[in-house]
Amino acid sequence: MHKMLVVMAALLMLGGSATTAAEAAQGTPQDYPEFPYPATNYQEDNRGQFHFSSRGGWLNDTNAPLFHNGVYHVYYQHNPHGLQWDTMHWGHATSTDLVHWKQQPIALEPGVHPGDLWSGGGVVDTRNASGLGAGTIVVYSGTNGVTAFYSTDGGYTFRTYDNGRKLVTPAGTSRDPKVFWDPATQRWGMVVWSDNGGNGVDFYTSTNLLSWTFASRYRAGWLFECPDMVRMPLDGDTGRQRWVLSDGSGEHVVGAFDGTTFSTDRPQPQRINHGEGGAGGHWYAGLTFANMPDNRVVSMAWQGRNAGTVWTGNLSFPVEMRLQTVDGTPRIVSTPVAEIARLRTGTQTWNARTLDARSAAALLQGVRADTYEVEAEFSPADAKRFGFRLGLGPDGWTDREVVYDPATRTLDGVPMAPIGDRVTIRLLVDRGQLEIFGNNGRVYKSLNVNFDSLPGDDTLALFTDGRVRLERLAVHQLGAIWGGESTLKDNLGGKWYADSGAWSDVSGGKLGKSNGDAFYLNTRSGTDFTYEADVRLESGVAAALTFRADREADRHYTANIDAHAKVVKLWRPGRDIATYPLDVVLGRTYHLKVVTAGARIQVYLDGGATPVIDAADDTIPGGQFGLNVFNGTGIFQNVEVKP
């Protein structure tokens, strides 16, 4: 089924309806990159606190997760102008630690980039194989033919390669290209889903990421949409490499790839994740990160059953995948990335003990947890069933149970035999998400669960039917992942706050608007320094850099561009210190730089070698950095302080 129809069907099951094409929005090159998001504190009902969701709009398939120059990038299928599937864009978020995420402007946008901007993968061209420049990020998208887009600014904005020419066009209906590196042949590979002769994928090879040669086709009835192809060591042995080919639902086979053809002697697929798959399900379209610095295989997927007032859909928590031999068969095991420890704000632990129904129920009384992680290990003893009740209400009702059944040897309905006589259960519980891991990742199940449904639903309880031996238990409180939502690029490191005026995020940076003086201040202070930024006065009188300010900006120095007086001006409350004539053009970006040394203050304009203002004033020896607008609207970007 056409992907849009699949998603629409899922929406109808959820009680939603598809928007019409007229309700969607296509951008223009003048507006790119677009940042069409309302302000949010991410505290809306049902909004996950450590599962990424878009600041606003509809989210589905993960696209082109990759690492570049210290930053993790996740792109995703996105309608930023509505809460349902329509007119796909590529949304974008970044992280420096894999767990705290920051919303970025739109990466690929209809009206700016040609074709159907549907799911795809991306790579970092570290060796300049493409000739587009070392470190260029190349991503691939398009239906019924693959188009390339490339970024030379670290993955924030993209240009279309060769006017959108199709690099390959598989027979039949096709979509969802994923590109991977094959170290054995020193070539790039591309895998693309198509329905030519039935479900399957076409493989292509390339030495330059731009010219591709058909290599082979792998057919399988189960293999539908969003393929991934990743090389993994078996049991951690780098001398025993295997290739894993998977589809959108996480079904996969393990085999070999000779640079042209994929083959496997175990054609019956296994599951990566045991949550309900399919578009709009609990786990779909997982992709692995490219160019990982530590050779880990890390994946994120779309969870489609979470929605709120301003967003629809979230991504699963990133997991590390490993290939292990289990009962003689290579199997993928998945565990939360180790960086989850950075989210832990508090931990309670319990030592080994034997529990019956009463003592199990009493063990966690008084524990209050809203967003948290559970790590537990059990010996089943004679228990008929045991596990955790999550979101327990005062009347005994619970939002969700996670049960281990020793008789059927299943965890939450998924087969899981004990290892020795031990069973481990690990849970990630968020406001709209539950992720279950069993026996160190042999079971991995993702779910969307509404944990905001009951008063008092911030409780959890351990239960058992019969006796169970608890070997260890820890409950970790988890903080929020949001790594700051400003589009302002700066190196100050302090906290920004609005002292006055209206300050908001736009694709060009931080926008300030006021009918009088308005200040946006940073908690970082300085005495002698170089302070600079790009300043654009959109309308009104003046936009400026403020420095050596007190916390309310009652005392400060400010260097501005003043369209009314047609000057660059250095001033402080009560005195205009110096001016330089300038016919300020509205909408033009100026670069202001201030250098201070004691009483001496120099102001430079647009990278000039000579200051346009060189003055002395010893009234204010030091203070905070900030931005300023006066009777108008200004946009600020690339704010930097140097000693």
Q: Please tell me whether residue 235 adopts helix, strand or coil conformation.
A: coil
Active site residues: 61
Report how far residue 425's alpha carbon sits from residue 438's, in angstroms, rounded to the nearest whole number. Answer: 5
Question: Which residues on adjacent β-strands are paired with residue 321?
Answer: 297, 334
Positive or negative CA dihedral for 80, 83, 86, 92? positive
Three-state DSSP string of 322-373: EEEEECCEEEEEEEECHHHHHHEEEEEEECCEEECHHHHHHHCCCCECCCEE
Q: Residue 213: how many CB atoms within 10 A of its CB?
A: 13
Whether the CB-CB separation of 567 and 582 falls below 8 Å is answered with yes
- Judge residue 555's burial from the number of C-beta atoms within 10 Å of its C-beta, 0-12 exposed, 13-18 middle, 19 or more buried: middle
Positive or negative CA dihedral for 153, 89, 55, 587? positive
**DSSP letters of 568-627?**
EEEEETTEEEEEEE--PPTT-EEEEEEEEETTEEEEEETT-SS-SEEEE--S---EEEEE
Report how far residue 100's alpha carbon sits from residue 339's, in angstroms, rounded to the nearest whole number. Answer: 10
Report how far residue 544's alpha carbon sits from residue 592's, in angstroms, rounded to the nearest whole number. Answer: 8
Positive or negative CA dihedral for 437, 441, 445, 450? positive
The torsion angles phi and psi of 111, rounded to 5 degrees, stand at: 90, -20
- The residue with tokens 């102008």 is 81
Closest CA to 429 of 406, 403, 400: 400
Report how far residue 191's alpha carbon sits from residue 203's, in angstroms, rounded to the nearest whole number. Answer: 5
Report how far residue 503's alpha carbon sits from residue 519's, in angstroms, rounded to the nearest whole number. Answer: 9
Whether the CB-CB separation of 482 and 385 falls below 8 Å is answered with no
What are 540's two structure tokens? 């009104």
- The residue with tokens 């996969």 is 252
